[in-house]
Amino acid sequence: MAKRIGVLLSGRGSNFEALADSVAAGRIPDAEIAVAVSNREGAPGIDRARARGIETRVIPSKGLQREEHDRLVVATLEERRVDLVCLAGYMRLLSPYFIQKFPQRILNIHPSLLPAFPGLEAQRQALEYGVKFTGCTVHFVDENLDAGPIVAQAVVPVRDGDTPETLAARVLAEEHQLYTEAVRLVLSGKFRIEGRRAIAAEAPRAKAT
């Protein structure tokens, strides 16, 4: 039976589209996107999902307490029997209630090499700090900001003439590939969590020296 993915988005949904493309092409095998959910009316990602024939749901968050809104989203995901939740530009912190409903079943992708530059405007943070390399990180979501166990990372060199926009474009290209790899691993179930790392099951355990 195909694993069912629920995608949460707030904006354009480019990572959602990358996941949808990978599912359609078999790069994420035995999987389907069961529903795309947005907290914002008019999010372009929802229009893109509808154009693909994927079920969508808009649950506006404005005026609602965080858990109050999360309970509505969780109800939708449970109704669609979702196995894995993927955040794709979802601009909300999840409540403890949400996390507890999907333990180790929520992934997020962040445009930096965490733990460096969490939160908003990660590329601007990287440029202001003067780093020579940045990248992106797929991690499990816990109750803290950009802080759950890391599943995968990709490195992107910072060029001397970069702006936040040019750097973001190169990071985004890596995000699309990395998210597919991470989702494929997590849905396979062939991984283990050691401390703050999610490790592929076939990877050898480190030996003390």
Rounded average pLDDT over 86-96: 95
Rounded average pLDDT over 152-171: 98
At 16-33, the pLDDT tens digits run: 999 999 999 999 999 999
Rounded average pLDDT over 143-165: 95
Say which of 69, 110, 139, 176 is annotated catalytic: 110
Q: What is the pTM of this model?
A: 0.93
207 pLDDT band, cuts 50/70/90, is: very low
Closest by Cα among 114, 77, 109 to 197? 114
Residues 181, 152: contact at Cβ < 8 Å?
yes
Residues 6+ apart with CB under 8 A from 131: 116, 158
Closest by Cα among 37, 38, 16 to 28? 16
- d(C-alpha 55, C-alpha 6), whole Å: 10
Give pLDDT, residue 57.
97
- Provide the token pair at 84: 């894995």
At 60-81, the pLDDT tens digits run: 999 999 999 999 999 999 999 9
Rounded average pLDDT over 128-137: 98
| pLDDT tops 90 at residue 120 | yes
143 pLDDT band, cuts 50/70/90, is: confident
- d(C-alpha 76, C-alpha 175), whole Å: 26
Question: Directed axis angle between helix 44-51 and helix 14-25, to 10°?
Answer: 20
Residues 141, 114: contact at Cβ < 8 Å?
no
- d(C-alpha 163, C-alpha 124), whole Å: 8
Give pLDDT, residue 190.
93
Closest by Cα among 134, 114, 92, 123 to 198? 114
| pLDDT tops 60 at residue 153 | yes
Q: Is 139 a catalytic residue?
A: no
Complete DSSP assignment for 137-153: EEEE--SSTT-SPEEEE
